[in-house]
Structure 1
Amino acid sequence: MAKEHHEDEKREEMRQLEASLQDERDQVENTDRTSKEWSYANTEPVDVEAASELAEPVRRDNIPDRKKEGVSDGRTMGIIALVLSLISFFLLPFLFGSVGIILGVFAAARGSRIGWWALALSVIAIAASMVITPIMRY
């Protein structure tokens, strides 16, 4: 008698577990599936994205960190480009002007206004040499 009673308790417990599992399945089907990620292993909804655990956090304000590391903001490169562009007015304008343009673009990409000035002066020096050199030969 005790054995049958124990088996009945186990059956009742199994029915309750199956009912609660079915309720959870029904609840999952009724919820918005677009807001949840699905795992491939057991096709149960997963609320946590795995990439967030594996990836390094994105730092939005990394400019102060760059200055601590000694990375310039392009000002030094812009000054070098400006000096080369000024030299290009007097000596080898195609060589120094081209290097001034390249360094000016890199400096401007890092946020330096001096890079833009160097770029403009290099272009002016190259254009002026293209106009003045043929005139000077005659």
Structure 2
Amino acid sequence: MAKRHKENEKEEMRRLEASLQDERDQEEDAGRISSEWSYANTEPVDVEAASELAEPVRRNNWRERRKEGVSDGRTMGIIALVLSLISFFLLPFLFGSVGIILGVFAAARGSRIGWWALALSIIAIALSMFITPIMRY
């Protein structure tokens, strides 16, 4: 059964190639010669098949986006900075952790404020780890 299926496929391909060759011969007789042809439909192919099948390449170059004026991470960076400043005075592990997370996301989107928020949150958590035990005695 599989052998018969392969033979049918080969025969179909031969018929398709023969019809394609007939059309090429007719085109040459008419004076039009084309170099690339499609097997699915007998029209000339203008675009490479790989570009139709592959996904478009996304480049997240934040420096170029920053020059264009796109400031996706600025608002998130400001929120992270505010949370990191709050973490110096109130619940440093909670607000500092959230400040670190938002700071990383903001920095990944190209905001320098995100880097500042990240650094301040780390400093706030580190200070609370050393100062809190001393103050309890």
TM range (shorter): 0.5 to 0.7
- Tell me which residue corresponds to 1:108: 107
Letter in structure 2 aligned against 1:86: L
Aligned mates of 1:126, 1:89 — CA distance in 2: 8
Higher Rg of the two aligned structures: 1
Alpha-carbon deviation of 1:49? 2.0
Alpha-carbon deviation of 1:73? 2.3
- Tell me which residue corresponds to 1:85: 84
Alignment of 1:35-114 (within 5 A): 48-53=47-52, 63=65, 72-114=71-113
Aligned mates of 1:106, 1:59 — CA distance in 2: 18
**Residues 105 and 48 of structure 1: CA distance in aligned 2, closer, same or farther (over 3 Å):** same
Aligned mates of 1:136, 1:88 — CA distance in 2: 17
- SS state at 2:72 partner: coil
Alpha-carbon deviation of 1:72? 4.0
Establish whether residue 136 from structure 1 lines up as the match of residue 121 from structure 2: no
Aligned mates of 1:132, 1:109 — CA distance in 2: 31
Deviations 1:77-128 (A, max 9, x none): 0000000000000000000000000000000000000000000000000000
- Tell me which residue corresponds to 1:126: 125
Where in structure 2 are there 5+ consecutive unaligned residues?
1-37
Query: Contact between 2:85 and 2:121, CA under 8 Å: does it hold in 1?
Result: yes
- SS state at 1:74 partner: helix
Query: Contact between 2:71 and 2:111, CA under 8 Å: does it hold in 1?
Result: no
Deviations 1:51-91 (A, max 9, x none): 32456766879849x96xxx742000000000000000000
Aligned mates of 1:128, 1:90 — CA distance in 2: 11
Identity %: 90
CA RMSD of aligned residues (A): 4.3
Scaled by the length of structure 2, what TM-score is found?
0.56
